[in-house]
């Protein structure tokens, strides 16, 4: 009668080796992830970032927290997309051809957002929607005076203050400007843009629409 010794059986050892061999590596997981088309989270995330950047464009001089969030999230999504596309081109080109609409969705969202922002469409729409209320506020301000607004909403903007200098009405927007104060200005006469004007301190103007301008204090 032969003695039996405890320990792994040959069948158990083979099963363990098969289990280890079938376990996907990090590289295989990355290739599997990249070979799939952009899904239900990536494309909506790109759309959200696009809307955030369009909101930033609608604020005179920009809005620093919104700009930083959109920039960081946009760079992260762009890096993920570039990595995914590069791997898919190397190992899964048929997936790109089959799901081409999903692959071009994110670049299309980015292109539309950038084009609309460069054309200042969000800023123009927001200013034009606020002109009546801002004009009514101008009638309450005397020349060479400044009225604090403390974040009160006028039109589609929260104002920090409103003032009049040399027939130019300045509306300082609450939290506007990336690194310095900014806002809107209105004048019945044309204001030179991109230069410092006598009597206007360090403000530089950029035309928006009709008699409306963006000013930034440099």
pTM: 0.80
Distance CA 73, CA 41 (A): 14
Distance CA 29, CA 74 (A): 24
- Which DSSP symbol is given to 194? S
- Which DSSP symbol is given to 177? B
Q: Is it the case that residue 22 has pLDDT exceeding 90?
A: no
Q: Which residues contact 154 (CB under 8 A, 6 or more apart)?
A: 130, 133, 134, 137, 171
Per-residue CA distances from 209 to 5, 116, 120, 142, 150 (Å): 91, 16, 10, 24, 26
CB 106 within 8 A of CB 77: yes
Alpha helices in 59-214 (DSSP H): 64-91, 93-98, 100-118, 121-128, 131-138
Tokens matching residue 155: 């039109």
Beta pairing class for 168-173 and 182-186:
antiparallel
Q: Is it the case that residue 11 has pLDDT exceeding 60?
A: no
Residue-wise pLDDT for 84-96, tens only, equals 888 888 877 887 8
Distance CA 68, CA 59 (A): 14
Q: Is it the case that residue 156 has pLDDT exceeding 60?
A: yes
Distance CA 68, CA 216 (A): 19
- Give the start-to-end residue ranges of the domains of the chain: 10-119, 126-217
Closest by Cα among 151, 169, 168 to 160: 151
Rounded mean pLDDT, 31-41: 73
The whole-number pLDDT of residue 5 equals 47
Lowest mean pLDDT among 96-100, 117-121, 129-133, 152-156: 96-100
Tokens matching residue 38: 């952009």
- Counting Cα atoms < 13 Å in the Cβ hemisphere of 145 gives 9
CA gyration radius, the chain: 29
């Amino acid at each position: 009668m032969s003695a039996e010794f405890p320990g792994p059986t040959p069948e158990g050892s083979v099963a363990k080796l098969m289990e280890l061999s079938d376990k996907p590596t990090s590289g295989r997981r990355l290739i599997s992830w990249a070979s799939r088309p952009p899904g239900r989270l990536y494309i909506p995330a790109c759309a959200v970032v696009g809307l955030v950047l369009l909101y930033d464009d609608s604020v005179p001089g920009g809005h620093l927290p919104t700009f930083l969030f959109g920039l960081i999230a946009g760079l992260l999504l762009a890096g993920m997309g570039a990595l995914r596309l590069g791997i898919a081109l190397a190992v899964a080109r048929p997936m790109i051809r089959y799901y081409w609409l999903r692959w071009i969705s994110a670049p299309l969202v980015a292109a539309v957002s950038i084009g609309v922002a460069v054309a200042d469409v969000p800023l123009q729409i927001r200013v034009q929607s606020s002109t009546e209320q801002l004009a009514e506020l101008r009638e309450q301000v005397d020349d060479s005076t400044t009225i604090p607004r403390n974040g009160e909403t006028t039109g589609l903007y929260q104002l920090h203050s409103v003032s009049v200098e040399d027939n130019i009405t300045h509306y300082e927007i609450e939290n506007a400007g990336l690194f310095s104060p900014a806002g809107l200005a209105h004048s019945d006469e044309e204001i030179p843009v991109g230069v410092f004007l006598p009597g206007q301190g360090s403000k530089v103007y950029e035309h928006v629409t009709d008699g409306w301008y963006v000013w930034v204090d440099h």
